Each structure stands twice: as structure tokens, then as C-alpha cells.
Structure 1
């Protein structure tokens, strides 16, 4: 079973990488981009067979290691 975790900065947390991307897009001629939020995607191969248990376990992984829970939020998809 596979899981995909999407991690993003929480609303209100400054995103300097996102701002740098927005600025670079403007310099390349892509007008109209008013904001960019940059995040990360982590894909996991799991031995689990129960989707609900796998999702709960990946959530615990996020809280323990994969995400900085103070400034980041995450979403888990079981594929």
C-alpha cells in the first residue's frame, strides 16, 4: 500500500521560498501570479493492508518526524 503526504506551511506562516518563486515567475514573464505557497510531498510504501490503520500510522509519523507541527500542516492520501 502506498501513502502520499503533502506538507504545507500553515496559513499565516511566512513562506520566503514561495515568495522567491512568485518573484522569479514574474521575472520570466508569467504575470498575474499573486501568491505562491511552497511545500513538499513524501510518498511511503507501507506493509499495512488496512487503509484506515495505515492512514492513522502515517499521521503519527507526521507528528513525530515528517512535519514540523508548529508551522506545518499535512494531508495523507492512501493510494
Structure 2
């Protein structure tokens, strides 16, 4: 029986990759008086729901989605959290 899973995906630039957006935000924060900010890195946060037979299959799907579309594995890292959604107990 299939189960729905809620997925939270975090995509960030690899540490070795220059982050011009992060530099711009850091500069803006300094101009606003927040001189204590030393490093800013900008990333992406993605939420989605997948249907899978089990959590392992859901993880496989999310890995494939990240590798193929959601992240650029050459310059970005990704991590995710997957939780099973509660079922209502009703039958379709």
C-alpha cells in the first residue's frame, strides 16, 4: 500500500563556489548597520509530497529529483528530511 511522504529539501552552494548573492546580501546588511554578519550563503528550500511504497523508495525518488532537476550536483549540495504523512484511515 502506498504512503504519502512530506519532503523538505535544502539546496546550498558548495563551500568552494563563490556566492555573489550572498556577498550582495552581506553588503546590504553591513550598510544597514549589521557589521557583525561575517558570511552569507544563499540557498533554496523546497517542500513537496511524494507517494511511495516505503520511506526508502521516497528517498530514492527525492535523490533522483535533486540530481536531475532540483540541484546542480556540480556546484550545489543538498540534504532533505522525509516524514510520513498520517493517513485518515478511510478507504477510497
- TM bucket (normalised to shorter chain) is over 0.9
What is the CA RMSD across the aligned residues, in angstroms? 1.0
4+ long deviations beyond 2 Å: none
Cα distance, 1:49 vs. partner?
A: 4.8
**Structure with more strand by fraction:** 2
Counterpart position of 2:25: 21
| Paired positions, count | 79
- Select the structure of larger CA radius of gyration: 2
Q: 1:30 maps to which residue?
A: 34
**Quick check: which one's helix share is greater?**
1
Alignment-derived partner of residue 87 in structure 2: none
Segments of 5+ residues of structure 1 without an aligned counterpart are: none
Which of 45, 51, 61 is residue 49 of structure 2 equivalent to?
A: 45
Specify the alignment match of 1:66 in structure 2: 70
SS at match of 1:46: strand
- 5+ residue gaps, structure 2: 84-92
